[in-house]
Amino acid sequence: MKKIAISIPKPVLQQVDRLAASQGESRSHLIATVLDRVARAKHDRDITAQVDALFTEEKIRAEQKATADKFLRMSSWPKGKW
């Protein structure tokens, strides 16, 4: 762990303290959890954007569709909608 100092408006800090108390956790743990979730969400959005950009290329999209279709024809999975 690494300690840091941050400035938070008083009303926000009061809300954080109430939420932490209602969940039975420390202010520090609550803030660390929220920041971790925000960072992970940003990372996930970046990965999704990269995958989306990849599949905008028609050749790659067609290759992936053809491969998926071949796997479906070879599989023993039930046909139809999921």
- Residue 55 has a pLDDT of 78
CA distance 4 to 65: 49
Domain ranges for the chain, please list them: 50-74
What's the CA gap between 74 and 54, in Å, rounded? 26
Non-local (6+) Cβ contacts of 54 within 8 A are 60
pLDDT of 70 > 80? The answer is: yes
Q: Give pLDDT tens digits for 8-61.
A: 999 999 999 999 999 999 999 999 999 999 999 988 888 988 888 887 888 888
Q: pTM for the full model?
A: 0.56
Please report the pLDDT score of residue 7 as a whole number.
94
CA distances from 68 to 17, 56, 61, 75, 82 (A): 50, 17, 11, 10, 15
